[in-house]
Amino acid sequence: MNISDRKATGSPDTIALVTGCSSGIGRATALALARQGFAVWASARSVETLRELESAGCRTVRLDVTNMDSRIQAVSRIKADGGSIGLLVNNAGYSQPGAVEELPLDAYRAQFETNVFGLIGLCQLVLPGMRANGRGTIVNLGSGAGLVTPPLSSAYAMSKYALEAFSDSLRFETSRFGIRTILVEASAIKSSFTNTLEQMLPAQAGGSPYTAVTAKVLRFARYKVGSQVRIAPTARRLLGDRLWDAVMARLIRAE
């Protein structure tokens, strides 16, 4: 986004809110936007994790995207301090792995509360200001898992498939108000996000029928697969269910 002609006037779209800034993509995004001249508000559930970003010129705010009061308080604070949010980067999220048979329904609900419903709630809070200003940008962090579903990833992939539909609808609904919607379909990226997969797995009882496939998927998840978004969806469509399942089985067996 070219903001060189907007920074001097202090127009609203220079005020950016980035969620999930404690590490990984969120932290890197906040730093990059600050270097470009945005008035960045970096957020996380614990502001203590954001001290480095404060030193880099970001403002910080506590934000638990799953909590309605927290969302309202964070957006209200930013508005009171400097005006309407012109750029919202919905990065906060996590991956809940687990076999369908063993993953509790509450785990599915929690996945959607963070990755989908919290994101929608923030969009609803910033959209009135963007409409009033006649411009704004919303960036949603999707995933290659929203195009092709890996094994043991039903909860996460479902949430990212949902963002595909949500972003399409939001883009059509709000473009006439000067609001842009951008969906980033990221491939696997080495960060603390992937390091938490094993911690998020549901406990497997002795003799679980999914122990072997779980171990293989975890080994495979440690590799960066940069072609996931570009190649996998086309391959998935062309191969059909039977051949695609055979390809995934070979990949999981890879050492």
Residues with catalytic function: 156
| Cβ-contact 40, 89 below 8 angstroms | no
| Cβ-contact 42, 19 below 8 angstroms | no
Please report, as a single letter, which amino acid is at residue 73.
Q
d(CA 135, CA 94): 30
d(CA 115, CA 109): 10
Contacts (Cβ under 8 Å, ≥6 apart) of 226: 187, 188
d(CA 138, CA 167): 9
Report CA-CA distances (Å) from 224 to 102, 153, 219, 250. Answer: 27, 16, 11, 17
Neighbouring C-beta atoms of residue 147, cutoff 10 Å: 19
H helix or E strand, kind and range, residue 249: helix 228-253
